[in-house]
């Protein structure tokens, strides 16, 4: 962890380098060159697998997520999400309790139409079930992008045994690069979240004999509710 003393030492070293070069670091031409290089950085190699459109992209996302041991349910409208979550918990004989953050997309849903008991705020490790709203999904790997903040506390990603994630179908991108660009465009410098978590399937680990253990470092179940994907073909 960086300390004030570390920062001072770093600043001293950089100041020495600048003096040796005869620059301050504030020269307009030098700053322009750096800004241009950052803005015009070439994209890396993007796998072809995720470069599909429409329903094909969603089918790829679902297949990859399920291959990583997540489960996926599809609903057509946001209002159907609470009932889908209640059905999922019931099907796994789990209590009708659910913790969430202050995300307005979740707060606006008709939770009162279900028997679910809702708690708001970060988890202290005693919650069995939690729900988050993803910023987006990556089709090429079935990965969820979750940004930290009071709307979707990071503790909900890791502490409860069962993590349910709501994902808008329109937010599923083909590749990671597209989601990173979307995040920068929407939030930008000075407003970026403290943490971006890329989650692929439930937490799992294997010993030297390759025996799989679920829930090794986080949730043992990851369930995705995909909203508005047109599974019925409409």
Burial 4-14 (b: 16+ CB within 10 A, else e): eeeeeeeeeee
**Both 136 and 219 in a single domain?**
yes
**104 lies in which domain range?**
54-227
Distances (CA, A) of 40 to 1, 25, 34, 43, 136: 32, 21, 10, 9, 24
pLDDT digits (tens, 9 = 90+) for 109-163: 999 999 999 999 999 999 999 999 999 999 999 999 999 999 999 999 999 999 9
Query: Would you state the structure tokens that stand for residue 29, as one six-digit string?
Result: 């031409």
The answer as to whether 46 is a domain residue is: no
Query: Would you state the structure tokens that stand for residue 138, as one six-digit string?
Result: 């990556």
Q: Tell me the pairing of strands 221-227 and 71-75.
A: parallel
Who has greater pLDDT, 184 or 41?
Answer: 184
Q: Count up the domains in the chain and report the number.
A: 2
CA neighbor of 50 nearest in space, from 166, 168, 146, 142 = 142
**Both 146 and 61 in a single domain?**
yes
Most confident segment among 23-37, 166-180, 219-233: 166-180
pTM of the complete model:
0.80
**Both 212 and 169 in a single domain?**
yes
Query: Would you state the structure tokens that stand for residue 32, as one six-digit string?
Result: 């322009």
Residue in the structure block whose two tokens are 């994907």: 229
The DSSP call for residue 111 is G
Domain of 148: which CATH number? 3.40.50.10420
pLDDT digits (tens, 9 = 90+) for 186-204: 887 777 888 999 999 997 6
């Amino acid at each position: 962890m960086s300390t004030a003393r570390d920062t001072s030492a770093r600043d001293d070293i950089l100041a020495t380098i600048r003096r040796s070069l005869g620059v301050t670091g504030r020269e307009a031409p030098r700053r322009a060159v750096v800004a241009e290089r950052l803005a015009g950085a070439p994209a890396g190699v993007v796998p072809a697998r995720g470069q599909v459109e429409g329903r094909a992209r969603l089918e790829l996302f679902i297949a990859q997520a399920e291959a990583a041991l997540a489960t996926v349910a599809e609903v057509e409208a946001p209002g159907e999400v609470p009932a889908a979550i209640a059905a999922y918990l019931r099907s796994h004989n789990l209590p009708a309790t659910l913790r969430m953050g202050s995300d307005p997309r979740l707060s606006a849903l008709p939770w009162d139409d279900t028997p679910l008991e809702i708690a708001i705020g970060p988890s202290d490790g005693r919650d069995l079930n939690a729900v988050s709203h993803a910023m987006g999904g990556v089709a090429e790997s079935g990965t969820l992008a979750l940004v930290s903040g009071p709307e979707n506390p990071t503790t909900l990603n890791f502490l409860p045994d069962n993590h349910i994630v709501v994902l808008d179908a329109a937010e599923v991108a083909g590749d990671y690069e597209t989601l990173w660009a979307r995040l920068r465009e929407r939030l930008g410098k000075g407003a970026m979240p403290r943490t971006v978590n890329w989650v692929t399937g439930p937490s799992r680990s294997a010993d030297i004999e390759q025996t799989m253990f679920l829930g090794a470092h986080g949730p043992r179940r990851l369930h995705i509710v995909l909203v508005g994907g047109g599974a019925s073909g409409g």
